[in-house]
Amino acid sequence: MKDLYKIAKEVLPNSYSQYSNFKVAAALRLKNGEVITGVNVENASFGLTNCAERSALYTAYSKGYRKEDIDEILITTEQTSFISPCGACRQVMRELMPENAKVSMTTANGDVKTVLNKELLPFAFTESDL
- Cα separations (Å) of 16 from 63, 82, 105? 22, 21, 20
Q: Which amino acid, residue 64?
A: G
Among 10, 34, 53, 78, the active-site one is 53
CA–CA distance, 79 with 130 (Å, rounded to integer): 38
Answer yes or no: 53 catalytic. Answer: yes
CA–CA distance, 95 with 118 (Å, rounded to integer): 10
The residues that are catalytic are 53
